[in-house]
Amino acid sequence: MREGEPSRTAFGAATYRAVHQDVDGGRIFRDPLAWRILGLDREATLAEPEATARPRLRVFIAARHRFAEDSLAAAVERGTAQVVVLGAGLDTFAYRNPFAGTRVFEVDFPATGAWKRERLADAGIEVPENVAYVGVDFETDDLVARLAEAGFDDSAPAFFLWLGVVPYLSEEAVTATLRAIASVPGGEVVLDYTNPAHQLRLTAQGDRADLIARVAEVGEPLSDGLETEALHALLAELGFTEVEDLDRPQIRERFLGRPGGTETGGAHLLRARA
């Protein structure tokens, strides 16, 4: 990401979430604030060819939020009262949070966090008193220490939503963040990741090459991806004892009700609890 500038890919992901509400009827994930926080003309945006382009990516983005918030609901049922949104971008959970008694920490690069607060003000979206903003550089900062400065209790369970971030980080930053989450008693995380290009089908390799080129143009290059077996081994080493990992066929079956097929490699949704 370019120094001092908000994340361009965060805006893109938010646009896909908003378009999903109309083009797909929000059938996977409903977000009543998706259009408001964008500040775009709804009809004009939907009329653009880009609005209906890349349906697989749009559905995946909707599915990862549904998976994350379903998992969060289960964690709250077990007594978790701290929610951390890592790389919050224009995520709206904190402003439609249905769980009374929870505290939400939004974590992002300072420039992106400031930009989001401007968007919230422009959209007239009220910031609840239980929301705290934490500026962090995932590549260099101590995540738990920065959270503690904002009132986070590192002795109490917490749920971390980490969506659309891991593919942009180095393996060292991913490992450090997972280690920080595992250090929290009952720490639980939902994240998405992609496999390396050599594990993808040829058509998927083309899609990934297109995405790599587009995000590189805005100064947010993608990493090479993560091997599933290596990631699972790392999670076990760090102390995560419960891991659920959905590949694309499983995502299609769960959220679209369609036969999953035999596709291997590609995008994954993962939940892990320490």
**pTM, full prediction:** 0.91
Decide if 205 contacts 263 (C-beta within 8 A): no
CATH of the domain at 263: 3.40.50.150
pLDDT-derived band of residue 51, with 50, 70 and 90 as boundaries? confident
Decide if 214 contacts 228 (C-beta within 8 A): no
Instruction: Write out the residue range of the structural domain in which residue 41 sits.
Output: 8-273
Inside any domain, residue 1: no
Mean pLDDT, rounded, for 62-78: 99
Select the more confidently predicted residue: 117 or 1: 117
How distant is the alpha carbon of residue 40 from its chain centre?
A: 22
13 pLDDT exceeds 80? Answer: yes
How distant is the alpha carbon of residue 229 from its chain centre?
A: 21
Which residues, at least 6 apart from 235, have a Cβ–Cβ distance to it below 8 Å?
A: 178, 243, 272
pLDDT-derived band of residue 261, with 50, 70 and 90 as boundaries? low
Inside any domain, residue 237: yes
- Could you give the CA distance from residue 33 to residue 232 in angstroms, rounded to a whole number? 35
pLDDT of residue 2: 47
Strands (E), 147-264: 159-162, 188-194, 242-246
Inside any domain, residue 80: yes
- Could you give the CA distance from residue 47 to residue 69 in angstroms, rounded to a whole number? 30
233 pLDDT exceeds 60? Answer: yes
Mean pLDDT, rounded, for 197-220: 56
pLDDT of residue 262: 58
205 pLDDT exceeds 70? Answer: no
Inside any domain, residue 76: yes
Inside any domain, residue 167: yes
Inside any domain, residue 71: yes
- Could you give the CA distance from residue 156 to residue 79 in angstroms, rounded to a whole number? 10
pLDDT of residue 14: 96
Decide if 83 contacts 104 (C-beta within 8 A): yes
- The total number of structural domains in the chain stands at 1
Least confident of 116-120, 210-214, 236-240, 254-258: 210-214
pLDDT of residue 107: 98
